[in-house]
Amino acid sequence: MKHILFFKLVSSFCLLLFFSTLSQAAPALWSVEKNGVTSYLFGTVHVGDPSMQGLPGKVKSAIEQAENTVVELNMSALSAFEIQTKTAAFIANSNSRPLPLAVSQKVYKQLEAYFTKRGINIALFNSTPAWAVMLTIVQLEYQKAGLTDTYGIDKQVIAHAIKHKKNIKELELFEQQLEMFSQIAIMSDEMVTQTLSQMEEADKFIKDMIEAWKTGDDAKLGKYYELSFDDSKYARLAEQVLVIDRNHTWVRTLAPNMGKTSHFIAVGALHLPKQHGLIELLKAQGFKVKRI
């Protein structure tokens, strides 16, 4: 798995966005209709920079037309203290091993070199699970690139929905997302090694992915989805945990209500394409899905 964590480290912690203003972009928006009720599906990116401020008009209109706004997780509803407390409690109550026991000596040395280059003592992470260290690395790299969730599309969608007094529904709990990362950390060496490798080629990948998202290039997004996974055991595990299982769970949750009331659904862009993507899964439930 070479790139999937760029879009999926997720929700709770940050991801992408770059370059020109969002008002000039044309990211894909889908209508989802059944029983005469029209909902909307929008693939997002979770972090951005100031140039990405402002949702496209068609997205704002869809939010306003829908009765409910659905997101993966509403981080705006959690304070920094709550996030720290929940994370600490999860780590304390989980079976996560501390970093020196979770990874091999070789991988630990790679991590040590990474942090030393950034003036950070790896000993600070010796009681931390490998998955949390991985998230820290991703956060550091996006901070260096000037990317934050403040300008992420999810947060902007939530803000617009609140402004128009829409019901905000979450697909997951914060603890569920921590559990997700904990599951893929079963293969800690592979997870850390690939995360470090991803950081080396982050700039080009981010720019290409963002351009595909901004222009609504579904074919290119599908291509990047395929490139995100190889045939390794770790890649299959990551795809299953981070994408496939969640997509099926979300559709089971959403489909019964979408036939009754209108929903604006905003989730990470890589949840939409392919056989197990939300578009195909909703079609299988009898919804008419059309790009608008």
d(CA 205, CA 62): 30
> pLDDT at position 101, please?
95
User: Comparing 42-51, 164-173, 218-227, 255-264, which segment has the lowest mean pLDDT?
Assistant: 218-227
23 pLDDT tier (thresholds 50, 70, 90) = very low
Is the pLDDT assigned to residue 211 strictly greater than 80? no
For 154-192, the pLDDT digits (tens) are 999 999 999 999 999 999 999 999 999 999 999 999 999
Q: Average pLDDT for residues 239-267, to the nearest whole number?
A: 97
> pLDDT at position 164, please?
98
Secondary structure (H, E, C), the chain: CCCCHHHHCCCCCCCCCCCCCHHHCCCCEEEEEECCEEEEEEEECCCECHHHCCCCHHHHHHHHHCCEEEECCCHHHCCHHHHHHHHHHHHHHCCCCEHHHHCCHHHHHHHHHHHHHCCCCHHHHCCCEHHHHHHHHHHHHHHHCCCEHHHCHHHHHHHHHHHCCCEEEECCCHHHHHHHHHHHHHHHHHHHHHHHHHHHCHHHHHHHHHHHHHCCCHHHHHHHHHHCCCCCHHHHHHHHHHHHHHHHHHHHHHHHHHCCCCEEEEEEHHHCCCCCCHHHHHHHCCCEEEEC
> pLDDT at position 102, please?
95
Rounded to the nearest angstrom, the gap between the alpha carbon of residue 110 and the centroid of all alpha carbons in its chain is 26
